Structure 1
Amino acid sequence: MQKIVTNIWYKDNTAEEAVEWYLTLFDDAKITSSIPYVEDAHGAVGDVMVVNFDLAGQSFTAINGDDSAKHDHAMSLLINCDSQAEVDRFWDAFLANGGTEIQCAWIADKWGVNWQVWPTEADQYVGGPDRDGAVRAVKAMYEMKKIDLQGLKDAYEGK
């Protein structure tokens, strides 16, 4: 069992819908269990209260709650991508399903959960050994919503 599990609160009984959609994004995703309401608290007895699931080897818990909790990008789920094509695939999927672009690789899904879709190669530009190049790459990143890896590389190299 994973010691620390990210717990995500969903309003309006949308936890199952969100989890089912997340399962379409990752090849190795699965629901590991669900827990029904056993008494009338925030949902009807027998309806799903909690969905436990795995994405890319990480365990998560989705809870059907009320609208008292709000998501923001101070806490996000980071997807490390191996290529621009992978960044594009995730980004386009979030947008097509009602997501909202934020800035600098952040995007909120239609449930308000914030994600960062990040090409790992970008680290060598925004954190590269050439300080001036890194500054240019970071400035370029600040102008982006979805990360353009070639744009970061060009900025780093002064092109």
Structure 2
Amino acid sequence: MTTDGFTTCLWFDGQAEEAADHYVSIFENSRIGRVGRYTEAGPGPAGSVLVVEFTANGQKFVALNGGPEFKFNEAISFQIFCADQQEIDHYWTKLTENGGEGGPCGWLKDKYGVSWQVVYDRLIDMIGDPDPEKAARATRAMMGMGKLDVAALEKAYAGEE
């Protein structure tokens, strides 16, 4: 392999450049890289964007204008682990604005149909706690939420529900 790690390719229908700019604006440690354009050989109009390389939060991506044949679905999602409610609110708001939609248990779809999980970073430990009652309380609380509520999760986990 010629590079470290993997690069995730996201297939868009004409919105590759817009999406790359959007993601770079949300996450720190992000930037736009190379932009590849169609040539006279096609299949897209010469000069229009074919691919955009970008980095979001240190993760490498390529946004591809592949056409309408494929759509995103929940089988693949990106997890954002957040230290507190302020981070959860920030990412939830930015990713659901302008046509995105919230889902259950911290899941959402952004305006391009990409699925994200905005997760409280202690949640995995809470729902995996060896004390089955603590784990069950945290799980029940999470299952009743859309955007995660850190205070409510902590309260449920502690048995203060």
The bucket for the TM-score relative to the shorter chain is over 0.9
Q: 1:31 is matched with which residue?
A: 32
Task: Give TM-score scaled by structure 2 length.
Answer: 0.91
Letter matched to residue 35 of structure 2: S
Task: Give TM-score scaled by structure 1 length.
Answer: 0.92
- How many equivalent residue pairs? 157
Q: 1:131 is matched with which residue?
A: 132
Cα root mean square deviation, aligned = 1.3
Q: How does 1:81-120 map to 2 (within 5 A)?
A: 81-120=82-121
Provide the rounded CA distance (Å) in 2 between the counterparts of 1:34 and 1:40: 16
Letter matched to residue 101 of structure 2: T
Provide the rounded CA distance (Å) in 2 between the counterparts of 1:57 and 1:2: 12
Letter matched to residue 106 of structure 1: W
Provide the rounded CA distance (Å) in 1 between the counterparts of 2:17 and 2:4: 21
Contact 2:97 2:111 (8 Å CA) reproduced = no
Structure 1: give runs of 5+ residues left out of the alignment.
none
Partner-residue secondary structure (3-state), 1:67: coil
Structure 2: give runs of 5+ residues left out of the alignment.
none
Letter matched to residue 74 of structure 2: H
Provide the rounded CA distance (Å) in 2 between the counterparts of 1:111 and 1:145: 19
- In percent, how many aligned pairs have the same letter? 37
Report the CA distance between 1:96 and its aligned residue: 2.2
Provide the rounded CA distance (Å) in 1 between the counterparts of 2:104 and 2:38: 38
Tell me which stretches of 4 or more aligned residues in structure 1 moved more than 3 Å.
none
Please identify, of 52-61 and 147-156, the stretch whose mean Cα deviation from structure 2 is larger: 147-156
Q: 1:2 is matched with which residue?
A: 4
